[in-house]
Structure 1
Amino acid sequence: MPSRITDASVEAMLTREKALFLQRNPKSGTLADQSSKHWLRGVPMHWMVDWGTPFPLFIAKASGVDLTDADGNSYVDFCLGDTGAMFGHSPRALAETLRRASEDGFTTMLPSPDAPVVGELLAERFGLPFWQVTATASDANRSVLRWCRAITGRKKILIFNGCYHGAVDETFVSLANGRQIADPALIGEPRDLNELTKVVEFNDIAALEAALSPSDVACVLAEPVMTNIGMVLPDDGFLAALRAITRRTGTILVMDETHCMSSGPGGYSGASGLEPDAIVLGKPIAGGVPAAVYGFSDEIAQRIRAYLATRTPGHSGIGTTLSGSKLQLALMRTMLETYFTREAFAPLIELAKRLEKGIADVIIKYGAPWHVVRVGARVEFMCSPDRPRNGGEAARIIHQPVDMAIHHYLLNRGVVITPFHNMMLVCPATTKAHVESLIQGLDHCLAELV
């Protein structure tokens, strides 16, 4: 029989853990008060308050998987900057490159000798021959959407309900009771985004076919696994159907691998043989220093060249001054050569399997109505017995009070997982002991909750 976790037990844990957080972190509290005088919401970037704690932790040092806050408390980090530090904080090879590159200039608005090497490495890893650099994955997604619209002459894009592709306006459209609506949380958008975007549920082949059949969609922008609303895996055959339908309807298929890079050195697309027309990758490509890339197939690149030959000179709306800098290319070269390899990924995936099994054992031990899922070195548990098949189902599961209670409990005991949902990453600095500390923390938390 499943164990019952009552609202009362969750509320009692959350109340107690918030009080403990205040007791453990007086210096962070003082820093939060000081920061509120000049920073919006008291933080340099307003998401930093989304951890749900009474005030943010102020981190003094991060190395490998070790965090130290302003009060001297130590933590094992499984969040890793929500994938930005997927290979650990300040990995040695990257830190050495950063020190060396810092003496040779940061940005010149001209290519460096690393450019041809990085281009070749990207082509080898991801199977697409032509690439560009941006500062963030949001920038990369915006650029790709512009290119796709330009070469197809189509205005609309298609996304999946519950997706997340950074701060790209057209992707903030969702389904509510079967009706397509612009996300009411989007700040300051003056347009009706429904005119630009179609949205269907992930794993719904019939809905995808119907949406693309008019041949008015420039591209499908998708993650191969939905990762920002819990983790929603593709059904058997769904990605193959997605690839076949996009080809049949002349729709460009763009895979956002920013989170799914946990799958291996070529992302989930490489591991599954998906063959997208374009790939976007941000966050970990330069080890957490702002950089992202997007790549195209040879066919798409030829269409872009043909389009550019007809284009009126002037501002393109694509590219920013600091994109493709010497520093970005130097760091990307190190990341691709050192960490985006099968040899580097193999032990991470094995350790993530150990974490997945350990969490599953805890769930079974207490009869909790939860499940756990893994994609390469990325693990997530959701407080529901059944795996969601789409964003609509996932949205009804995540962000429950029990999630918040678990996060607070683990945080107060020196274990950090992603605040927005229950995601954990394994990196080269993660050890079996670190994994066991998380598993034991979750075990003790569940013992109290049930």
Structure 2
Amino acid sequence: MDDSIAGIARARIDTVKARESARFSAAHPQSRALAAEAERHFPDGVPLHWMTDWGTPFPLFVAEARGARLTDVDGHSYRDFCLGDTGAMFGHSPDPILRVLADQGGHGLTYMLPTADVPVIGRLLAERFGLPQWQVAATATDANRFALRWARAITGRPRVLVFNGCYHGTVDETFVRLADGRPVHRPGLLGQAVDLTANTAVVEFNDLPALEAALAARDIACVITEPALTNIGMVLPEPGFLDGVQRACRATGTLLLIDETHTISTGPGGWTRAADLEPDFLVVGKAIAGGVPCAVWGFTEAVAAAMKHARAAAGPGHSGMGTTLSANAMALRALRANLERVMTSAAYDHMLAMSARLADGIRTVIAARGLPWHVSSVGARAEFVCAPVPPRNGTEAAAAMHGDLEAAIHLFLMNRGFLIAPFHNMTLTCPATTADDVERLVACVGAACDDLLAGA
């Protein structure tokens, strides 16, 4: 029996993981104390259960962060390549966002009324992403949920289609996976009262014939997808796949929603502008307002006209879209500042160069040690995967994820001052990331590999 995972002995993974967990515990007494105190009122000591997903014996409590650096309550400094799991993609507290927070704080935070920033934001979004009409939500989950509801209202069709392994926040309809070729609820889903597979079709990414077959019945209102899957490892589209998705949608009267919340790392206009995609809806959240909670969703003039018709036909009442804090004054100010002064071409040039340098460095580390791993990239987002070849769909990507091995690597890096995404081996570079940050992370990944290979 092969007693190894991705070229690393299982026993050695266990040894490194246990040792690094003990090292973390010894080095973080303040975090341990805060976690114990917080557990009186917060399960596992955290206000959001995702905060326990780092593989540490107790949560790491943060004191402050700025640029590409983060400091914990025990005084340890980290070079941050996680960046709030994309929420701080452009660095922690960029100066233009800080100025907005200070200024707007004295003028009211939320009115449920528009401000003078709105027409400027509309122009900036249209110029950047190519869609003429926009709405603002509090999160990408909300934006995706609202767009899907509109798609059903416009088309009169009940169903949506997702790709296996997708991630679109916590939108119910997207929590469907394939298991042995059958649609099932996503593993771990809690409290689900209705069968999501009744109104959600799911096919593999990069399988155009399967998509075309699923759309043939013309009961799908909307296909929702990222340009590349990013939350189950990384799955890049094969040449022609996204164009094929667009053609299949148009041929069957199905609307297309592109979720750029993660793939905005590609460039100033995301993958959509870089690849000249023409979706009916486009969603961007997380980092769009520089870390202030905010999301935007855009749509075509044809969709806007259809929305107006659908709303008139429905009559007065609650549309089911919107939240009271959506498009609040603070979020609008931060959104405008981020679009104008943070998400610049110069910022992206630096981010992309740093990420390419990081990806090349880790490829060299992997090759030098003969590990059956690879590196994939989406702009400023790079990921090293403990599998020999890039996956072409969600099933292959899931098989390439090795929780214990990844946890051992993450703990090793964290204990030496580096943060990467806790869910898999994803890294992000921001405008504040330096070449020295990159080189030091590459060296630390090399040291982690050497430690895991010790005694092999």
Which category of TM-score, normalised to the shorter sequence, fits these structures? over 0.9
- SS of 1:199 mapped into structure 2: strand
Deviation at 1:441, TM superposition (A): 0.4
How many residues are paired up? 449
- After TM superposition, list the pairs within 5 Å mapping 1:1-400 onto structure 2: 4-400=7-403
Q: Supply the distance in 1 between the matched residues of 2:373 and 2:131 (Cα, whole angstroms).
A: 39
Q: Supply the distance in 2 between the matched residues of 1:305 and 1:123 (Cα, whole angstroms).
A: 20
Of the candidates 400, 406, 409, which is equivalent to residue 406 of structure 1? 409
In the alignment, is residue 447 of structure 1 matched against residue 453 of structure 2? no
- SS of 2:218 mapped into structure 1: coil
Of the candidates 425, 436, 451, which is equivalent to residue 422 of structure 1? 425
Kept in 2: contact 1:338–1:344 (CA 8 A): no
Q: Supply the distance in 1 between the matched residues of 2:73 and 2:328 (Cα, whole angstroms).
A: 33
Amino acid at match of 2:127: E
Deviation at 1:409, TM superposition (A): 0.2
Q: Supply the distance in 2 between the matched residues of 1:344 and 1:74 (Cα, whole angstroms).
A: 24
Tell me the TM-score normalised to structure 2 length.
Answer: 0.97
In the alignment, is residue 434 of structure 1 matched against residue 437 of structure 2? yes
Kept in 1: contact 2:96–2:342 (CA 8 A): no
Q: Supply the distance in 2 between the matched residues of 1:116 and 1:3 (Cα, whole angstroms).
A: 52
Kept in 2: contact 1:261–1:267 (CA 8 A): yes
Amino acid at match of 2:203: V
Amino acid at match of 2:248: I
- SS of 1:231 mapped into structure 2: coil
Amino acid at match of 1:185: G
Sequence identity of aligned pairs in percent?
54
Q: Supply the distance in 2 between the matched residues of 1:365 and 1:167 (Cα, whole angstroms).
A: 40
Q: Supply the distance in 1 between the matched residues of 2:357 and 2:199 (Cα, whole angstroms).
A: 44
Deviation at 1:328, TM superposition (A): 0.8
Deviations 1:243-267 (A, max 9, x none): 1100101010000000000001111
Q: Supply the distance in 1 between the matched residues of 2:160 and 2:264 (Cα, whole angstroms).
A: 23
Deviation at 1:184, TM superposition (A): 4.2
Kept in 1: contact 2:35–2:44 (CA 8 A): no
Deviation at 1:188, TM superposition (A): 1.2
Kept in 2: contact 1:399–1:420 (CA 8 A): no
Tell me the TM-score normalised to structure 1 length.
Answer: 0.98
Kept in 1: contact 2:6–2:386 (CA 8 A): no
Deviations 1:42-77 (A, max 9, x none): 101111111111001000011111111111011010
- Write out the 4+ residue segments of structure 1 that deviate beyond 3 Å after TM superposition: none
Deviation at 1:4, TM superposition (A): 3.7
Kept in 1: contact 2:286–2:293 (CA 8 A): yes
- SS of 1:369 mapped into structure 2: coil
Deviations 1:113-134 (A, max 9, x none): 0000001101010000111111
Q: Supply the distance in 1 between the matched residues of 2:404 and 2:50 (Cα, whole angstroms).
A: 19
Amino acid at match of 1:349: L
Kept in 1: contact 2:260–2:270 (CA 8 A): yes
Deviations 1:182-239 (A, max 9, x none): 2242221111111110000000011001000111000000000100000100001100
Amino acid at match of 1:80: L
Q: Supply the distance in 1 between the matched residues of 2:188 and 2:152 (Cα, whole angstroms).
A: 26
Amino acid at match of 1:303: A
Task: Give the gaps of 5 or more residues in structure 1.
Answer: none
Deviation at 1:16, TM superposition (A): 0.5
Deviation at 1:339, TM superposition (A): 2.4
Q: Supply the distance in 2 between the matched residues of 1:343 and 1:275 (Cα, whole angstroms).
A: 25
Give me the CA root mean square deviation.
1.1
- SS of 1:104 mapped into structure 2: coil
Give the stretch that moved more between structures: 337-346 or 94-103. 337-346
Kept in 2: contact 1:3–1:367 (CA 8 A): no
Kept in 2: contact 1:339–1:345 (CA 8 A): no
Q: Supply the distance in 1 between the matched residues of 2:6 and 2:342 (Cα, whole angstroms).
A: 42
Kept in 1: contact 2:90–2:343 (CA 8 A): no
Kept in 2: contact 1:128–1:295 (CA 8 A): yes
- SS of 2:170 mapped into structure 1: coil
Kept in 2: contact 1:28–1:70 (CA 8 A): yes
- SS of 2:160 mapped into structure 1: strand
Distance 1:237 1:88, change over 3 A: same
Deviation at 1:338, TM superposition (A): 1.3
Deviation at 1:343, TM superposition (A): 2.3
Q: Supply the distance in 1 between the matched residues of 2:103 and 2:288 (Cα, whole angstroms).
A: 18
Deviations 1:326-374 (A, max 9, x none): 1111000000011223222111111111001000000011011100011
